[in-house]
Amino acid sequence: REDLKGLYSALLVPFNEDGSVNEEGLRKIIRHNIDRMNIDGLYVGGSSGENFLLGKEEKKQIFEIAKDEAKDQIKLIAQIGSSNIYEAIELGKFVTDLAYDAISAVTPFYYRFNADEVYNYYKEITENVENDLIIYSIPLLTGVDMGIKDFERLFKLPRIVGVKYTSADFYLLERLRKTFKQQLIFSGFDEMLVPAVANNVDGAIGSTYNVNGIRSRQIFDAVKSNDLQKALEIQNLTNDFISAVLNNGLYQTLKYILQREVKSDKQFYSRKPMAQITEEQKQEAENIYQKFIK
């Protein structure tokens, strides 16, 4: 699936004060990604979309809006994974009918599933959904740590085409790249884009690309053309930005910046139990916006 390579924003979702999806805001964020960040694709329904706080119908609503707004202008990958496997399959079929380019599924979490259970989860999803699947590995949040043998078994499943790799284990990344040349590997940590591209990943998927997409593309291209000094310079600046954002509250700050960028007069709320941005955080978010993005 060469066509899936590239830089993807993990789509942020704005909510209204009552917790419902702010459709107008969401459409504006999608347009911003396409028209101004020149992103290759969107990863819809990931951590950045606060997906694991949502009900099934709300997830469907977001998948529909994203497809309706983006049409075929960019690639769309839907994260349909859930510890409720029947929901994952239903959502997988739903987005496949909407003509999403691929699906992705987080490893099942909460209960400490063993390697066979994780394998059977992907087997069942891929047997029931007629679309290519990208494994979503994010051990920091799920507690599911997979080794090379686990990936080897999973990559033999016919519809699995790659992994979104959100981990700082660069030894494992190097081993995966060397061993599985045909699989797509997407880097998940935006602050580690330089070492990821140096390890020949096929693309990257991240939250900060929603607002810092242009610099991130420059990092990607500079490493690819062996200009490590330039790549590091931009990564250094990018990481000043990312650490400021992380210190101030990741999704709250990114959504504040997006609200400014798309000129929405309605606040982009987070989904409870995620905290809402405070006045103090807003001020710091404004400073970050002025310093790094505007």
Q: Binding residues for ligand NGF, per CB under 6 A?
A: 10, 43, 46-49, 140-141, 166, 188-191, 206-208, 242, 246, 250
Q: Which is nearer to ligand NGF, 10 or 222 (CB)?
A: 10
Annotated catalytic residue, options 59, 67, 164, 255? 164
How near is the Cβ of 75 to ligand NGF at its closest, in Å?
A: 15
Q: Which is nearer to ligand NGF, 166 or 259 (CB)?
A: 166
Residues 6+ apart with CB under 8 A from 182: none
Q: Which is nearer to ligand NGF, 154 or 193 (CB)?
A: 193
User: Which parts of the chain fold into alpha helices (H)?
Assistant: 23-31, 56-70, 85-97, 115-128, 139-142, 148-155, 170-179, 193-198, 209-224, 228-248, 250-261, 279-288
How near is the Cβ of 120 to ligand NGF at its closest, in Å?
A: 23
Q: Which is nearer to ligand NGF, 83 or 153 (CB)?
A: 83
How near is the Cβ of 235 to ligand NGF at its closest, in Å?
A: 12
Rounded to whole angstroms, the Cα distance separating 37 from 73 reads 13
> CA of 45: how far to CAs of 11, 77, 110, 165, 229, in Å?
7, 9, 18, 16, 35
How near is the Cβ of 134 to ligand NGF at its closest, in Å?
A: 11
**Sign of the CA dihedral running 120, 9, 236, 247:** negative
Q: Does the annotation mark 289 as catalytic?
A: no
Rounded to whole angstroms, the Cα distance separating 189 from 147 reads 18
Annotated catalytic residue, options 8, 43, 122, 136? 136
CB-nearest residue to ligand NGF = 46
Q: Does the annotation mark 136 as catalytic?
A: yes
Active-site amino acid positions? 136, 164
